[in-house]
Structure 1
Amino acid sequence: MTFTIAIDGPAAAGKGTVGRLLAARFGFAHLDTGLLYRATGRRTLDGIDAVEAARTLERADLEAPDLRTPEVGQAASRVAAIPEVRQALIDFQRAFASRSGGAVLDGRDIGTVICPEAEVKLYVTATDDVRAARRLTELTGVGHDITYQEVLQDLRLRDARDSARSAAPLKPAEDAILLDTSLLTIEQAVAAAIAEVERVQRG
């Protein structure tokens, strides 16, 4: 059985958390596709050409300890705007999505480009202020010395770049369900997502 859940949205809106918990709830495999771009961007910081970095990406690259830093986040956003990089990573993502047993993929173009036929499409979002506060907590929690204003600026730069790029811009799929997590707890957000999946499964 194949059943694909596509989750899109801007950084720190909660799509990764929702994706992981949805996958656990239904016993599906989960892929944070942003890690593919972060790992590719991380390799470019070492001087590797972006397209070459994407084409030769290995699973071990997804385990690098610094993939969540703002510097790598900006590098990821830059390489994600390169059509050849996106093309190099599409096959990996589509193969993952079509695996038997079900799959949850979260990213920025899953419902629009990678899996337009996904059974469930969610667009997870939140206000800029809420997202910045969440990301600040995440970063300071692992020892990064960064201010709220710096995090907010970083998020807005990424949003602008990701939304304006010609290749697979960040936007909701036309048939995606909007899930605004600004005022929701993790439990409430996941419950809403579970309800949508179960509605589709019931037919």
Structure 2
Amino acid sequence: MKKIIIAIDGFSSCGKSTMAKDLAKEIGYIYIDSGAMYRAVTLYCLQHGMFNADGSIQEETLKQQMKDIHISFQLDPASQRPATYLNGKNVEEEIRTIEVSSHVSPIATLGFVREEMVRQQQAMGKEKGIVMDGRDIGTAVFPHAELKIFVTASAQIRAERRYKELKEKGQDVSFEEILKNIEDRDRIDQSREISPLRKADDALLLDNSHMSIAEQKEWLKEQFNKATHE
């Protein structure tokens, strides 16, 4: 069976990462969470005081320090799931907070950040056999990926899922704040100048608003089998 690149794009809080991780584990591929890479850069900026009081980013400072930001993915021994590492430290939990979520979009719009992240992502995909999810994987990072999926769901449903997830982790969050964050990110992601969020012409559309995890898994496996046997 030939190895391929699977690109899963879509809106925030659609469950892209979960489905991509599960698929990668099932088929024995490497999982790369591109969104986590931008979240890791955002966390680095928060840790190093690079955000101004008005929420803007100190671009020149970040540009100078991009060479010091190294992101990798390693299997967590406890959960047996891939975790995001920033400069050798597991930051999987830290990058999922609402603070990081509310700061990540301005970081992801910076051309020099995207350029470096795409360079790292393309290096990870040279041998194929990877599943990567994000906003521009099928359009900018791997335009020639053999299987492209674009995931969507209503903002209300995505906010409900995110709210439940964060509450289960013990975080004190507001549903209204999460919904606003999702709507803001949708607007920024779709309107940014560099690699805006959009469905690739050859991507398969998956609206999972009313699908169970099991139904999504079955659908994805079916598309994978078609793509690897063509």
Q: State the TM-score, normalizing by the size of structure 1.
A: 0.94
Kindly provide the amino acid, as one letter, of the partner of residue 128 in structure 1.
Answer: A
Task: Tell me what 2:33 maps to.
Answer: 32
What is the CA distance between 1:56 and its match in structure 2? 2.1
Aligned length: 202
Whether 1:200 aligns to 2:227 is: yes
Choose which of 146, 152, 163 in structure 1 pairs with 2:173. 146
Kindly provide the amino acid, as one letter, of the partner of residue 35 in structure 1.
Answer: A
Q: State the TM-score, normalizing by the size of structure 2.
A: 0.83
Choose which of 110, 130, 135 in structure 2 pairs with 1:82. 110
Conserved in 2, the CA contact under 8 Å of 1:5 and 1:104? yes
Task: Tell me what 2:63 maps to.
Answer: 51
What is the CA distance between 1:73 and its match in structure 2? 1.4
- What is the aligned-residue RMSD (CA, Å)? 1.5
CA distance in 1, matches of 2:197, 2:64: 24
CA distance in 2, matches of 1:194, 1:79: 33
For 1:9-158, what aligned pairs fall within 5 Å after superposition? 9-45=10-46, 46-48=48-50, 49-59=61-71, 60-61=85-86, 63-64=90-91, 65-100=93-128, 102-158=129-185
Match of 1:22, SS? helix
Kindly provide the amino acid, as one letter, of the partner of residue 31 in structure 2.
Answer: H
Structure 1 residues 6 and 80, CA, compared in 2 at 3 Å: closer, same or farther?
same
What is the CA distance between 1:99 and its match in structure 2? 2.3
Query: Quick check: which has more Rg, 1 or 2?
Result: 2
More helix as a share of residues: 1
CA distance in 2, matches of 1:31, 1:14: 14
CA distance in 1, matches of 2:3, 2:64: 31
CA distance in 1, matches of 2:23, 2:152: 16
CA distance in 1, matches of 2:178, 2:21: 24
Structure 1 residues 42 and 52, CA, compared in 2 at 3 Å: closer, same or farther?
farther
What is the CA distance between 1:55 and its match in structure 2? 3.3
Whether 1:177 aligns to 2:204 is: yes
Alpha-carbon displacement from aligned partner over 1:127-158 (angstroms, at most 9, x marks no partner): 11110001001111112111211110010111
Q: Which runs of 5+ in 1 are unaligned?
A: none
CA distance in 2, matches of 1:190, 1:173: 21
Alpha-carbon displacement from aligned partner over 1:1-59 (angstroms, at most 9, x marks no partner): 64100000111111111101110121100001111100101111122433345432224
Structure 1 vs Structure 2: percent identity of aligned residues?
34
